[in-house]
Amino acid sequence: MMKYEITSHNFIPKKQKIAKPLDVKSLDQENILLKEERNRLIETLEDIQQQISVIEEELNNKEKELILSKDTILSLEDNLSKYEMLKDDLNKVDSLKFEINSLSSQINRLNKENLTLNKENLTLNEEIESYKQHVQTLYLILLVLAVF
């Protein structure tokens, strides 16, 4: 027979627990089953603990690899920045080489112009000396004429 109890003004039937017969044979059998299940659960637990320890070891190895990778990345980034600085320096050297070549060609052009001007200066100095001799000759002629 079902019993009813009041819950929020409703009558809900309450289930009754069926009592099992308590004899020694069934209890021993249940005890053996529980021991077997306990042993099986202990073995499963040990397997899981071994798996956890293996996974923890792998995790530690991965953490070490990660740290090494970070160090490697930092080293590579440092090398990359050094490379960039060297590349910039090389570009500056190339621009300076171009500027040196340009200045060298200007120096060569100016040296040629200077040589030409020196030759012209020598020619003009020779002409001046020639004119001076002509002027002296003309003075001498003028003196001779003035005396006579």
Closest residue by Cα to residue 63 from 52, 48, 71, 50: 71
Q: What is the pLDDT of residues 99-131, one digit of tens each?
A: 999 999 999 999 999 999 999 999 999 999 999
Q: What is the pLDDT of residues 76-100, one digit of tens each?
A: 999 999 999 999 999 999 999 999 9
Q: Can you give the pLDDT at residue 13?
A: 57
Q: What is the pLDDT of residues 17-67, one digit of tens each?
A: 565 556 888 888 999 999 999 999 999 999 999 999 999 999 999 999 999
Q: Which residues pair with 52 in a beta bridge?
A: none
Number of C-alpha atoms within 13 angstroms, CB side, residue 49?
6
Beta-strand pair 3-7/10-14: antiparallel
DSSP for 92-146 reads HHHHHHHHHHHHHHHHHHHHHHHHHHHHHHHHHHHHHHHHHHHHHHHHHHHHHHH
Would the pTM count as exceeding 0.85? no
> Are the C-beta atoms of residues 12 and 4 closer than 8 Å to each other?
yes
Q: What is the pLDDT of residues 130-148, one digit of tens each?
A: 999 999 999 999 888 888 7
Reading the block at residue 3, the tokens are 């019993």
- CA 41/CA 36 separation, integer angstroms: 8
Sequence length of the chain is 148
Reading the block at residue 81, the tokens are 């920045």
Q: What is the 3-state secondary structure (H, E, C) of 48-72?
A: HHHHHHHHHHHHHHHHHHHHHHHHH
- CA 71/CA 76 separation, integer angstroms: 9
